[in-house]
Structure 1
C-alpha cells in the first residue's frame, strides 16, 4: 500500500489496508478530467452561496482543485499538515470499515470516476462523491 510519505497512512491497521487500491492517476482520460471539471464547476457554482463558509477554502486545504482530478500524493501532502490522510478504494466498502478509516483520520475516496451517461448522478461511489 502506498503511504505517500504520510505517517497517518503508515499507521493504518493491517485489516484496513486490504481495502486500499492504487489510484493509477495515469489511467484518467481527457474525458474523465472534463467530467471532473464540469461536475466540480456545477458544485462550486451552487455551494459557494449555500455551503458553510469553510467548505470552499477547505477544498484547497485538502488538495482539491476544480481544474483536475485530485492526485493522492498532492492530497496527502496537504492533508498531512492537519493530521489526516487519503486513500483510494474500489467502490463500496463495509460501513464499519469506512467509519474506522475516519476514526484513523483517513478520507476514503473511490478511485473510479463516473461515466458521461451518469454525469448528473451515479449510484456507485466515485471520486467526485
Structure 2
C-alpha cells in the first residue's frame, strides 16, 4: 500500500533512507494553516454522532486544534508515551516495504504537505490532514495501535509471498473505511471516512451503500473504490475484533485465495450478514 505525499508546498530535501524528513513546520504558510482550520472546524462540527467513542476520545487527548497544523514533535510527546507510536514526515512516494517497515516499528508516515483551498473535498494523495486528523486519534487507542503494528508485520510477509493485494483490502476496509457497531448505533472509525466531509455522513447514514458484518476472508476477496464513495462498508462489533484478525494464521486463508476469486464491491453474497442492503442510488446516478 504505497503512500503518496505529492503536490504540496513542502519539499523532500534531506530525505533519509527510510523516506523520512523533518516536518519543516515553520515552512507552512498562512494559507496552509487556513486550509487546516477550514477542514478541522467542519469535521469536528460534523463528527459527533458519526465517529466512534474511541476516535472522539483520542482527538480530545491530542494537542490538535483549529488554529494551526499540528507540530509532529508536539503530537509525539503525547502519542508515544500513550501507545508507543510516533508520526514521521514523508515527502513523496513511499514503497510498500518502507511503509510496512514503519508500521511494524510503530512509526506512522504522514505527508508533510496540505491540500490547496480548491481541493477541500477530494484529494487523491493523503496529506497531513488525512494522515493526522484521520489516523492519529485512533492510534491513541491500544487496540488500534497494536493492530496497525501487526498489520505492518503481516504486510512485509504478504509482500514476500505475493499476497499484498488481498491483505491491502483488510487495511482499506478497516483502518481507512471501517465502521463499528456501538450501542448508540453505527459509527465510523476509518481515517478515510473521518477526514472526509461528505463520506462521513454517507457511510453512516446514507441508504445507498451496503453495510455488512466483517468477515476476514470475505473482505480479502472484495475489491474497493479508490475514486469515489464505497459501495459496501464492513462493520465490526468491537474494536477488539481487530486484534483477533491480526493474530490469526493467514496461511490457510492465503491458500484458499489462490483460486483467484474476487468480488465487486457492490455484490451481496450468500452467507453475508447484511446489516443494511443498500439501494445503490448514489452509484447509479449519471
Alignment TM class, shorter chain as reference: 0.7 to 0.9
Structure 1 residue 112: deviation in Å? 0.5
C-alpha contact (below 8 Å) 2:18/2:98 kept by paired residues: no
Structure 1 residue 53: deviation in Å? 0.6
Q: How does 1:85-96 map to 2 (within 5 A)?
A: 85-96=86-97
C-alpha contact (below 8 Å) 1:63/1:79 kept by paired residues: no
C-alpha contact (below 8 Å) 1:88/1:110 kept by paired residues: yes
Query: How many residue pairs are counted as aligned between the two chains?
Result: 114
Q: Describe the shift of the 1:106–1:116 C-alpha distance in structure 2 as closer, same or farther (beyond 3 A).
A: same
Q: Describe the shift of the 1:61–1:22 C-alpha distance in structure 2 as closer, same or farther (beyond 3 A).
A: same
In structure 2, how many angstroms separate the alpha carbons of the residues matched to 1:70 and 1:32? Answer: 12
Q: Describe the shift of the 1:48–1:96 C-alpha distance in structure 2 as closer, same or farther (beyond 3 A).
A: farther
1:86 partner SS: strand
Q: Describe the shift of the 1:54–1:17 C-alpha distance in structure 2 as closer, same or farther (beyond 3 A).
A: farther
| CA distances 1:65-114 after superposition (whole Å, capped 9, x unpaired) | 23320101101111121211110001331233223212211121100111
> For residue 117 of structure 1, what is the aligned residue in structure 2?
118
In structure 1, how many angstroms separate the alpha carbons of the residues matched to 2:93 and 2:57? Answer: 28
> For residue 49 of structure 1, what is the aligned residue in structure 2?
49
Q: Describe the shift of the 1:81–1:121 C-alpha distance in structure 2 as closer, same or farther (beyond 3 A).
A: same
In structure 1, how many angstroms separate the alpha carbons of the residues matched to 2:17 and 2:58? Answer: 26
Please list every run of 5 or more consecutive structure 1 residues that lacks an aligned counterpart in the other structure: 1-15
Please list every run of 5 or more consecutive structure 2 residues that lacks an aligned counterpart in the other structure: 1-15, 131-286
Larger radius of gyration between Structure 1 and Structure 2: 2
1:48 partner SS: coil
1:88 partner SS: strand
**Root-mean-square deviation over aligned CA pairs:** 1.8
2:98 partner SS: helix
Structure 1 residue 61: deviation in Å? 3.1
Q: Describe the shift of the 1:27–1:105 C-alpha distance in structure 2 as closer, same or farther (beyond 3 A).
A: same
Structure 1 residue 17: deviation in Å? 5.0
Structure 1 residue 44: deviation in Å? 1.4
TM-score, normalising length from structure 1? 0.78
1:20 partner SS: coil
C-alpha contact (below 8 Å) 1:91/1:112 kept by paired residues: no
Higher RCO structure, 1 or 2 (CA under 8 Å, sep 6+): 1
Structure 1 residue 40: deviation in Å? 1.2
> For residue 26 of structure 1, what is the aligned residue in structure 2?
26
TM-score, normalising length from structure 2? 0.37
